[in-house]
Amino acid sequence: MGRLDGKVAIITGAGRGQGAAEVRLFVREGAKVCFGDITDDEGMKLEAEIREMGGEATYIHLDVTSEEEWKRAIQHTEATYGKLDILVNNAGISIGTRPIEETSLADWEAMQGVNSTGVFLGTKYAIPALRRNGGGSIVNISSAAGLVGIGRSAGYTASKGAVRLFTKATAIQHAKENIRCNSVHPGPVNTPFIQELLDNPDKLQERVSRVPLGKIGTPDDIAYGVLYLASDEASFVTGSELVIDGGTTAQ
């Protein structure tokens, strides 16, 4: 028996990295998954990989800043798998690290668009589908940077802090409809998201030195936390923050 047997999920930003790990884990645990990204070649490869293993997953092109693409994603999921139980708002971007005065308006708006507005739109259009299904779970991927200020990353920190509080507002508004909503706050994880850091051994070692557990996380470290919040095991958990950061924000 899988922990998500009979469940249908949408996972965003899942063509590679953290989102792809979530897709693989969800499928292994019995879910049927529609997963979206703008990296179509990688998304199609992942779909083929999962189908070869006997899993059920469908890749869809999904720019999370587009209302129309969100509407199509929800419609496609219900048409393909009959319902929606779980939404994982995983898509996120970071554009460099620089002081506020050197941050362009375009970069600021791009980070707010994907990291914050994308979560809003996904939630907005998933709620009616979850309601039709009698409830469900929304898991929003924030960041350790959504809990504490990160120097030289004001745009990213602001966008992830917005996800944290939007999650709580969603949880309160929809608790009586059996729609749960929680946020996950990863620290540094070994994915292409931190490729610049991974490519620089000195910077990587400096970053690792600030993690009490003395290492960076793996995609599965985060995916198992997402799995718990998505599953019925977390039926009494809503409006919470699951921190998976090696102890970084405990200091």
Structural domain containing residue 18: 8-242
Q: What is the mean pLDDT of residues 62-74?
A: 98
Residue in the structure block whose two tokens are 């939630």: 123
Task: Give domain status of residue 115, yes or no.
Answer: yes
Q: Which of 156, 222, 127 lies closest to 183 in space, CA to CA?
A: 222
Tokens of 177: 């409809």
pLDDT in tens, 182-221: 999 999 898 877 777 777 787 878 888 889 999 989 999 9
Q: Answer whether residue 74 shows pLDDT above 80.
A: yes
Total tally of structural domains belonging to the chain: 1
The CATH number assigned to the domain holding 80 equals 3.40.50.720
DSSP string, 182-206: EEEEE--BSSGGGHHHHT-HHHHHH
Task: Give domain status of residue 248, yes or no.
Answer: no
Task: Give domain status of residue 97, yes or no.
Answer: yes
Q: What is the pTM of this model?
A: 0.96
Q: In the 8-state DSSP scheme, what is residue 244?
A: E
Task: Give domain status of residue 86, yes or no.
Answer: yes
The rounded distance, in Å, linking the Cα atoms of 161 and 164 is 5
Task: Give domain status of residue 113, yes or no.
Answer: yes
Q: What is the mean pLDDT of residues 70-77?
A: 98
- Among residues 81, 125, 156, 228, the one annotated as catalytic is 156
Task: Give domain status of residue 251, yes or no.
Answer: no
More confident residue, 198 or 104: 104
pLDDT in tens, 142-182: 999 999 987 778 999 999 999 999 999 999 999 999 999 99
More confident residue, 161 or 98: 161
Task: Give domain status of residue 247, yes or no.
Answer: no
Give the burial string for 189-225 (b: 16+ CB within 10 Å, else e). bbbebbeebbeeeeebeebeeebeeeebbebebbbbb
pLDDT in tens, 6-56: 999 999 999 999 999 999 999 999 999 999 999 999 999 999 999 999 999
Note if 156 is an active site residue. yes
Task: Give domain status of residue 2, yes or no.
Answer: no
Residue 240: its pLDDT value, please?
Answer: 98
> Dihedral sign, CA of 121, 122, 125, 131?
negative
